[in-house]
Structure 1
Amino acid sequence: MKTKMQSLVMLICAGILFAGSTTSYQLGDSVSDFKLKNVDGKMVSLSDYKSGKGVIIIFDCNTCPYSRAYNDRIIGLNKKYASQGFPVVAINPNDPAQSPGDSFDEMAAVAKKKHYDFPYLQDLSQEVAHAFGASNTPHVFVLKKDGSDFKVAYIGTIDNNTRDASAADKKYVEDAVNALLENKPVATPKTKAIGCGIRWKNS
């Protein structure tokens, strides 16, 4: 009986894991278009970037200490790579009812204060975050343009030192984008996202 129960639990867990894997993007998957509201009030779609080489999607927020620690580095990524065809698009997935500091007005205030020169979108329904399988803020997905599709080429964290950018000796996102710009495979295509858990809506 015990063995049968253990087997049942394992099957249930496997089913949950399989279900989860089919509902979020994996490396090499094509990403569906989405449209979200930017802090300037305009709607932004992934398809708006079809003339570029790719997009650096970063699920981010106002309130997480990790997000704040990486804020300047995120700004730096856009300044470095937008002109090379890989702009940053930041998406706030947090439920403002759970995290008032991540309301649309607060997002707009942060973007203005920090002089964001990239979109900062609100995923109010959290559908985009679920589609990507985002779990933390920040959580990065580097997309490569492949024909008419955007395909996932890197998933994970920005670098290997949250506290000090100058001490990071592995710059995963930069390495990934540099490789893609040179039409080379990404050496480290997946890392663990380090940050605060997304504030999901109460079901």
Structure 2
Amino acid sequence: MAATPPPPELGIPAPDFTLPGVDGKTHSLSELKGEKGTVVVFICNHCPYVKAITGRLVKAADDMAAFGVRLIAINSNDTVSYPEDSFDKMKDFAAASGFTFPYLQDESQEVARAYDAVCTPDFFGFDAGLTLRYRGRLDEGRKDPPPADADRELVEAMKMVAETGEGPEIQIPSMGCSIKWKESA
């Protein structure tokens, strides 16, 4: 079932984290953040919404890097109930998709909870000081490619953040599969 995040609470600080990456290293937000902005996106390997945007996400990450914004992807799904989101499969997915950005595992789901992440994909765009300025979507494509003339909403928003420190007034939430939470004990 598709999920959509609530209206954004802009102006809040980014919760810090330290998580293992598919590159075999452990990474922190402070180490990975971009000079002029940072996008933290919650994704997973199996979600059809994520699979549909993967190529556009890699292109967006590369384009944003050119103006000092870094993209960081985090998988917080329950890997016991959803083994296709396992750490080993994350490595395969990142390699097959040509990820040029860190792909981290939030096995405890503490980071997703700290961010109030709802779905995959769920985008959080921060300014240089790690204050939330954007919580919208990549573009108007969902499971299908967007129209050829569609705005590149994430890239355009983060360019604005990099240049002005502020995000756009209108932000359309992302939509995707709900995060697969572990059952409570």
One of 173, 178, 183 as aligned partner of 1:197 = 178
One of 14, 21, 31 as aligned partner of 1:48 = 31
Per-residue CA deviations over 1:68-100 (Å, capped at 9, x if unaligned) read 001011101111011321111000111101211
- What is the number of residues matched between the two proteins? 177
Instruction: Check the 8 A contact 2:15/2:115 in 1, yes or no.
Output: no
Instruction: Check the 8 A contact 1:94/1:200 in 2, yes or no.
Output: yes
Partner of 1:109 in structure 2?
Answer: 92
Instruction: Flag the structure with higher helix content.
Output: 1
Question: Structure 2: 5+ residue runs without aligned partners?
Answer: 1-5
Shift of 1:51: 6.2
Alignment pair present for 1:164 and 2:108? no
Runs of 4 or more off by more than 3 Å in structure 1?
165-168
Structure 1 pair 27–169 and aligned structure 2 pair: CA distance change class (3 A): same
Shift of 1:44: 0.9
Shift of 1:166: 4.0
**Bigger radius of gyration, 1 or 2?**
1
Partner of 2:47 in structure 1?
Answer: 64
What is the CA RMSD across the aligned residues, in angstroms? Answer: 1.9
The amino acid of 1:160's aligned partner reads E
Alignment pair present for 1:154 and 2:137? no
The amino acid of 1:178's aligned partner reads K
CA distance in 2, matches of 1:96, 1:73: 25
- More displaced stretch, 76-85 vs 189-198: 189-198
Structure 1 pair 136–170 and aligned structure 2 pair: CA distance change class (3 A): same
Give the SS at the match of 1:87: strand
Identical-pair percentage? 37
Partner of 1:18 in structure 2?
Answer: none
Instruction: Check the 8 A contact 1:159/1:168 in 2, yes or no.
Output: no
CA distance in 1, matches of 2:156, 2:116: 22
The amino acid of 1:131's aligned partner reads A
Structure 1 pair 104–189 and aligned structure 2 pair: CA distance change class (3 A): farther
TM-score w.r.t. length of structure 2: 0.88
Partner of 2:3 in structure 1?
Answer: none
CA distance in 1, matches of 2:151, 2:169: 10
One of 82, 95, 101 as aligned partner of 1:118 = 101
